[in-house]
Amino acid sequence: METKPSLVDNIKGIMKSGEEFVKGAFLRISDSPNHNPIEILKRLQREAFSDLMKLRDRQDKVESVLSFYKFSKGFPFQEATTRVKAVIDVVAALPYVEDDFLQAMGSLDRTGTKTGINTRFIFETVLRQKDALVAELTTTQQRTAHQSRIFESPLSLTTLMYSANINYWLSLVSIPLGARCTNFAQGHNIGGFSSDGPPSFNQYHNCAAGLTVKGINLSASLAALASGPATQQATAGSKCCLATFGQVSYHPIDGLKITLSGLWQIYRSSPRLAKLGSLAIPLGRLREQKTSEVTQNIADNNSAGTIAVMLDSEFDESTKIKGWFEVEKSTARSVRWGMSIFDTPENELGWGLRMGGMGKGQLNHLHLGGFLNFDLGRGAKLQPGVVYVMEGRSHFPALVFESSWSM
């Protein structure tokens, strides 16, 4: 007699069938080539090898380009870096006079106090790890000394300079646009501004070239500068300016530096410098530069010229004593001179004293002044001061406010 399966046997049969179904499903999945671990590893290996070959090909191309520039000595912008510096100078003056305010402002202008706002942007690109290409853009807003209007100059390229350091002992400087004698001064700060010196040292020229030789305790600089008529309407026979600048610095002991600078400048009648090529054509503000008093005085004098000498001593990089004189040989001989002493340490309160004068025909000018220097940090300086001007029968004091911010 046949026995009927019990409930327990039915449950065991169902569990056995489910186990066989699950095992079969896993076996089918494991046997699939897409989920086989060995096949997966082989596929990943093929893909990784393909990616590595592509990267190696790109690396070979990059290395070939770099090696070309590395062995090409004529490539000037190899590893070039550019630094940007902005300098804002603000000068304001308030003369204490009762009658002619514009005449007093003209007297202050002859002391070297140029009121207004001067903004400069200096772009310095380092080439060949030791050379430098410098471009300076300037915009100015000044009130003219003898007029009540404000003279504004738009942002324009005023200086283009290339400095090549041959070695530690020798360096060459070429300035095809906007050259000044101060560009060749040793230890010159590109973004710096200083009125404590002969006016001819800060006069702009069309082009210049010079060299600097350094020794252990002695260094010397020599430069030649040239410029033509300030306006494009100048005709043949107009005056052009040729100048020679030299400077010698001596370090007798640590912390002491003595510098002697000199300028010899002559004016000659010649064709327009525009015929010499693009290097003699000024751009930007130089094209609109007003004729200086020197140029006006020598317009009809072929033997006109300027001689300027300056001697300054520097102690501990903060205390400086400076003296200079400038002689203009023209139809009306003019002599200018000045002396200054100041101590302006960083992040501390500083001070300074100035004295100067001018003799030109019947005009005698003398001024005395002093200022305090507040170093506010982060390139900001504040110099409030007072100046007393004596010019002919006119005597008056004036408050002078100077501020400089470099970033």
Average pLDDT over residues 83-102: 84
Burial 92-107 (b: 16+ CB within 10 A, else e): ebebebeeeeebbbeb
Give dist(CA 310, CA 48) in Å, integer. 73
Domain end residue (candidates: 69, 97, 113): 69
Q: Of 134, 116, 119, 132, which Cα lies nearest the Cα of 86?
A: 119
- Is there a single domain that holds both residue 105 and residue 224? yes
Give dist(CA 185, CA 194) in Å, integer. 12
- Is there a single domain that holds both residue 262 and residue 390? yes
Longest CA pairwise span in the chain (Å):
155
Q: Do 89 and 141 form a contact (C-beta atoms < 8 A)?
A: no
- Is there a single domain that holds both residue 340 and residue 289? yes
pLDDT tens-digit series, residues 127-142: 877 889 999 999 887 7
Q: Do 92 and 41 form a contact (C-beta atoms < 8 A)?
A: no
Using the predicted structure, report yes or no on whether residue 370 has a pLDDT greater than 50.
Answer: yes
Q: Do 298 and 267 form a contact (C-beta atoms < 8 A)?
A: yes
112 pLDDT band (50/70/90 cuts)?
confident
Task: Quote the strand ranges of 6-95, DSSP E.
Answer: 81-95
Give dist(CA 345, CA 381) in Å, integer. 11
14 pLDDT band (50/70/90 cuts)?
low
Residues comprising the chain, all counted: 407
288 pLDDT band (50/70/90 cuts)?
very low
Using the predicted structure, report yes or no on whether residue 299 has a pLDDT greater than 50.
Answer: no
**What's the DSSP call for residue 179?**
B
CB atoms within 10 A of CB 329: 17
Structural domain boundaries, residue 59: 10-69
Look at residue 94 in the predicted model and tell me its pLDDT.
86
**What's the DSSP call for residue 205?**
B
Give dist(CA 368, CA 400) in Å, integer. 12
**Is 86 a member of any domain?**
yes
Look at residue 394 in the predicted model and tell me its pLDDT.
85
Does residue 15 or residue 370 have the better pLDDT?
A: 370
Does residue 381 or residue 50 have the better pLDDT?
A: 381
Does residue 54 or residue 321 have the better pLDDT?
A: 321
- Is there a single domain that holds both residue 192 and residue 263? yes
- Stretch among 262-266, 362-366, 393-397 having the lowest mean pLDDT: 362-366
Q: Residue 223: phi, psi to the nearest 5?
A: -145, 150
Number of folded domains that form the chain: 2
- Is there a single domain that holds both residue 223 and residue 332? yes
Q: Which residues share a beta bridge with 90? A: 117, 403
- Stretch among 15-29, 35-49, 212-226 having the lowest mean pLDDT: 15-29
Q: Do 156 and 139 form a contact (C-beta atoms < 8 A)?
A: yes
Does residue 145 or residue 243 have the better pLDDT?
A: 243
The domain that holds 279 is classified in CATH as 2.40.160
**Is 3 a member of any domain?**
no
Q: What radius of gyration, in Å, describes the C-alpha atoms of the chain?
A: 37
- Is there a single domain that holds both residue 64 and residue 83? no
Give dist(CA 27, CA 31) in Å, integer. 6
pLDDT tens-digit series, residues 68-86: 655 555 555 555 678 888 8
Average pLDDT, the chain: 77
pLDDT tens-digit series, residues 237-255: 567 889 999 999 999 988 8
Look at residue 28 in the predicted model and tell me its pLDDT.
53
Does residue 241 or residue 272 have the better pLDDT?
A: 241
Does residue 76 or residue 384 have the better pLDDT?
A: 384
275 pLDDT band (50/70/90 cuts)?
very low
Domain end residue (candidates: 35, 52, 69): 69
Q: Which amino acid is at 305?
A: G
- Is there a single domain that holds both residue 143 and residue 290? yes
- Is there a single domain that holds both residue 49 and residue 189? no
| Range with the largest mean pLDDT of 119-128, 180-189, 296-305 | 119-128
Q: Of 121, 213, 205, 209, which Cα lies nearest the Cα of 163?
A: 209
